[in-house]
Amino acid sequence: MRLPRLKEDGCLFVTMLFLCFSFATVHAQSEKTTPGFPAIAQQLVREGTFALRLQSALALGTTDDEIEAESKLGEKGIVPRNGWIADYPVTPDIIGELYESLRNAAKSGRIPVNMEEALTRLDNVSVYFGMPVKPRIVEKIGITLPADAVQFPQPKLIMNYYSTAGPPVVTYYAPPSDYHHMYCWIAYPFWCDDLPFPGFFILNNFHRTIFVNDRVEFVSNQFRDFKARRLFRIRPAARLNGKTFAGIGVSDKRGFIDTGVKESERSIFNSQHTWQDIDDRSPEPSHHEGGGSSGREGKR
């Protein structure tokens, strides 16, 4: 049956709007500050998507099921500190935690490749997703890295980016002052594109559409448990110190918040979500998790 002209025009408009939004989002994520330097917005990839490729790269089998891949890696002890949380974005500290767990898994013979090869394969997965990130080991807490490590982009260039593309979920450069309150500073030193960074900034609250291999996906730190009728929020700084909800693969859950729902780490963080039902009524971040943090949430 032929649609009325008005409906056809409406569908065409929605399609064109979606395509324009898709292009703008992809362009914003890939836009470079200066040739050779990381983009203002870190490329976003979900932990679930990352786990699927990492499982295959480590010769632990192949699957299209994220929970299966996360569980398989978890059985081998290859997990971020909180375990795998499918819709949470991979950040430099998470890659660092995977480095540590993968090194231990290789040393203990839990995976079929040696440590050097395993870490190389992890690097290849990170590069595949546009995040050439490696942890930077410092000899002393609070060590000062080169001052120009976070000053590559000119302030005007950063401000223009925020004005046109909006605040990025994760960035390695200090946001403009008007946006400081939206961010949490994570003092975790790392390398990216062979350049040193003392840490990164991540939004305190986010629920963002991303495009991976022409697929529409979501990254979020807000999750609704429909059984408990509660909205949960992962606080990035607390996540680094293991003081948040536990995902797949965590064996010791002491210090984690109990949701009161059986196997909630799977049902909340690794199931299909009704995204339109998720609101932003989670509590405001505590003072020490704001953008002006002194860095006490850093790696210990």
* Contact in structure between 27 and 195 (CB atoms under 8 Å): no
Query: Among candidates 67, 55, 50, which has minimal Cα distance to 105?
Result: 55
**What pLDDT score does 149 carry?**
47
Dist. CA 89–CA 70, nearest whole Å = 14
CA atoms lying within 13 Å on the CB side of residue 151: 4
**What pLDDT score does 47 carry?**
95
DSSP 174: P
* Contact in structure between 234 and 221 (CB atoms under 8 Å): yes
pTM (2 d.p.): 0.76
Query: Among candidates 258, 265, 169, which has minimal Cα distance to 217?
Result: 169
The string of pLDDT tens digits covering residues 134-190 is 998 654 444 454 454 445 677 888 999 999 999 999 999 999 989 999 999 999 999
Dist. CA 128–CA 152, nearest whole Å = 24
- Helix or strand or coil: residue 278? coil
Sign of torsion, CA 290 295 299 300? Answer: negative
**What pLDDT score does 294 carry?**
31
Residues in the chain with pLDDT values less than 50: 1-32, 139-143, 145-146, 148-150, 274-300
**What pLDDT score does 138 carry?**
52
Dist. CA 103–CA 133, nearest whole Å = 16
Determine the distance from the C-alpha atom of residue 84 to the mean position of all C-alpha atoms in its chain, rounded to a whole number: 11
**Token pair in block for residue 250:** 């965590």
**What pLDDT score does 139 carry?**
46
